[in-house]
Amino acid sequence: MLVDSHTHLLRLEVSPEEAVEGAAEAGVLAVVNVGTDVEDSQKGAELAAVLPNVYSSAGIHPHNSGTYTARDLEILAELSESPGIVALGEVGLDYYRGDWSGEIQKALFEDAISLANDTRLPLIVHSRQAFADTMSCLGRARVPVILHCFEGGEREADEARERGYYVGLAGNVTYNNSRTAPVLDRLDPERLLVETDAPYLSPQPVRKERNEPRHVVHTARFVAGRLGMNEEELGVLTSRNARNVFGLPLEV
């Protein structure tokens, strides 16, 4: 049993229905679709309402931070009350692409943190080359935090563990240049999640393919091997963690 804790069903080359069916055949029994803007989040809520074992989040990606409005935040707040919406995000900071200044990104991030505190929903965080600023902003968060697509080394792993944050491990942890793979044992096992971030970051065994939720099995197999666990143990562990942070109705 596995849960893909972060995927983008609306961006795949196959339909959401096909992706979910393929994932189930591979042993992925639930997926969390993640919103990146208002329209995307609204469609995600609709998917969660009609597809079994599909949940969703409502958020505005930092790449879209320069165009958000107060009304957008109101819509996210409204969506937070929809059945099947289990988190806010993804939100955060991305200094790698530099589409918008750090100040503009921080303004949205801080608004999103406040909204999460108000709605009591967990926060899915995107952070790329912005760890220090991300952690500084998150000092105000009063809800569970998921560091999606974690790519930190020793210092970042230790700080994530000290703060009790959940850590989403995507396909990039399987790459030869991963900073995270050598420090997986420093992370709290009760806070580990596996994810695809599909259609991005295909795990090494299928790196030439466009990613899909079913491919989370490769990341889980890699992580289990690094931690000296069998795949079933890791599946139960990470599925239980996903159930706990997102409040999923799963029997694990």
Q: What is the pLDDT of residue 251?
A: 87
Q: Rounded to whole angstroms, how far apart are CA atoms 73 and 244?
A: 26
CATH number among 3.40.50.2000, 3.10.20.30, 3.30.70.920, 3.20.20.140, domain 2-38+56-221: 3.20.20.140
Q: What is the pLDDT of residue 14?
A: 97
Q: What does the pLDDT look like over 10-20, one tens digit per residue?
A: 999 999 999 99
CA angle, 75 then 78 then 82, to 5°: 125
Q: What is the pLDDT of residue 121?
A: 98
Q: What is the pLDDT of residue 247?
A: 97
- Is residue 27 within 8 Å of residue 216, measured between CB atoms? no
In what side-by-side order are the strands of the sheet with 2-7? 2-7, 28-33, 54-58, 85-94, 123-128, 145-147, 166-169, 192-194
Q: What is the pLDDT of residue 252?
A: 81
How many C-beta atoms lie closer than 10 Å to residue 245's C-beta? Answer: 22
Query: What H or E segment, with its residue span, contains residue 234?
Result: helix 231-246
Q: What is the pLDDT of residue 117?
A: 98
Q: Taking the C-alpha atoms of 56, 157, 194 and 80 in order, what is their torsion angle to the nearest 10 degrees?
A: -10
Of the candidates 97, 88, 92, 87, the one whose C-alpha atom is nearest the C-alpha of residue 65 is: 92
Residue 22 structure tokens: 């393929």
Q: Rounded to whole angstroms, how far apart are CA atoms 214 and 198?
A: 10
Q: Which long-range contacts (CB under 8 A, 24 or more apart) does 45-49 make?
A: 45/79, 45/82, 45/84, 45/85, 47/9, 47/10, 47/16, 47/84, 48/82, 48/83, 48/84, 48/85, 49/82, 49/83, 49/84
Report the predicted TM-score, pTM, of the whole model to 2 decimal places.
0.97
With a CB cutoff of 8 Å and minimum separation 6, the contacts of 103 are none
What is the 8-class DSSP label of residue 13? S
Residues of the chain with pLDDT under 50: none
CA angle, 31 then 34 then 40, to 5°: 125
Q: What is the pLDDT of residue 192?
A: 98
Ordered by start, the domain boundaries in the chain are 2-38+56-221
Q: What is the pLDDT of residue 97?
A: 85
